[in-house]
Structure 1
Amino acid sequence: MSYTTKKYNRINWKNRPSTATALGATNLNHMDVFLNEVDDALVTMDAEKLNVSVGNSMLKSVEYDSKTGVWTFRQLDGTTQTFDQNIEKIPVSFSLSEAGILTMTTDDGTKWECNIAELIKAYSFDDTDTIAFNKSFSNDEYHVTANVKAGSINENHLNPDYRADILNYRNTAQTAANDALTYSKDAKRWAVGDASYEGSSTDNAKYYKEQAETAKTAAEKAYNDILASGGATIATTGKNGISKPDGTSITITLDGTLSASICVLDGGEIEE
């Protein structure tokens, strides 16, 4: 064992004729016990002490140069060892070519190239009836874009709720279109006639307009003929002329002939 506190107390020997420090068993054993303990302690210390050769190999200091990345280790005996981490060779940027060549650029500008094309898994993008893929390479990067083909979306791609709404709108629009077609046919039938409607050729606005124009033309012709033949005039509320006193209709034929069963000309009765 080694001492951690003081163990020996001095006897402080005195010369004769004093007998206070007699050279007897007590004082001699006091020294003998201490010498024995010191001897044991020395043996223990020698066994536990640090060997000089080992101690000299222990580190005294460690230094690091952040600019070069070099570590310097100094031992107690003055020996030094250095370790260069080569931080200037650590890649600071990477680039990948379309051919699969990986270029690594270190901090000192050195470039290293490595072909990793075989390590890159190839993916195939196949077009479908709906989606078309396009692959491009720019800025050292691959780009894959997907586009929906024009006219490829059908009702199967739609949300069921949206699809139901669209189908409902389509049916409503179809009904409206059918109704519009019917109304347009009816309008045509009454406007100019339609062969699909029996009798409409003589029962429409165009026909009646043409008949009215024919009658008007015939009436004007008859009127002009009367004026040319005798100077007769049509009776009005202000003057005498051709009239129908008994309510008999004056008839005008298609060729412009004006006739009546009874008529009055200048006040005289003339039988047809």
Structure 2
Amino acid sequence: MAYGPYYYITDWENEPSQKTPMNRINLLKIENGIKEVDNRIVQIDANKADKSTINTLADDAQKVIDLTRFVYSVDSTATVAMQIQGRTITARIVDGSVTMNKLDAAIQTEFRQYMLDAQSARDAALQYQTFAKRYALGDQEFPGSETDNAKYYYEQVKADAETSSQNALAAAESSETSMEQAVISTAKASVATAAANKTAADVLITTEKAMAAGASEQVARDKATEAGASRLAADQSANSSTSQCKAF
């Protein structure tokens, strides 16, 4: 670690001054200063490379040497932050401090290409967004799109669906009325059929009666013909009798 100043001398004053008395506090200050010096000497001695160790490094062996005693301060920049902690010196790149100029030329070229690609993608996305709005909602930049978009067609379909629903309801009501009328018509047809059947039966009876009457009429005609013939024969017989009487 980097050592900083530890001990500061006391400006002793002679008697009769009482500002710097020879007491426990001042004596302990001297003792602590001597002890700190002793600690630092022991630490330096423990970290030093002795001659025998240095002579053995010719075979590529390594010896860790604490260099912090040679370092008293480190400076940070806007790009690199330096720090000393114990015996360790660390450097950290400050977030957001690395600019394009600090990168390798090949990486700069690659990044610039990425930027161009990103700009092209952004322009394409904006174009797609414009067309998406045009087809979804319509856009005044596209004449005629106010009646050629998804929203317009949706509203038309919704209106048609409402009309169809109303027509279906009316058709259902009309169907119900038609069914009622059909029941009534069926009942009337049944009554008419019964009446027709009765009429047919009456016609059959009337026909049978007419046929019977026709037969009776024919019998009457035959009897009248027979009666006429009998009358003619009677007249002829009467005339013959009259003629005979006159002859006598």
The TM-score normalised by the length of structure 2 is: 0.40
More strand as a share of residues:
1
- The higher radius of gyration belongs to 2
More helix as a share of residues:
2
The TM-score normalised by the length of structure 1 is: 0.37
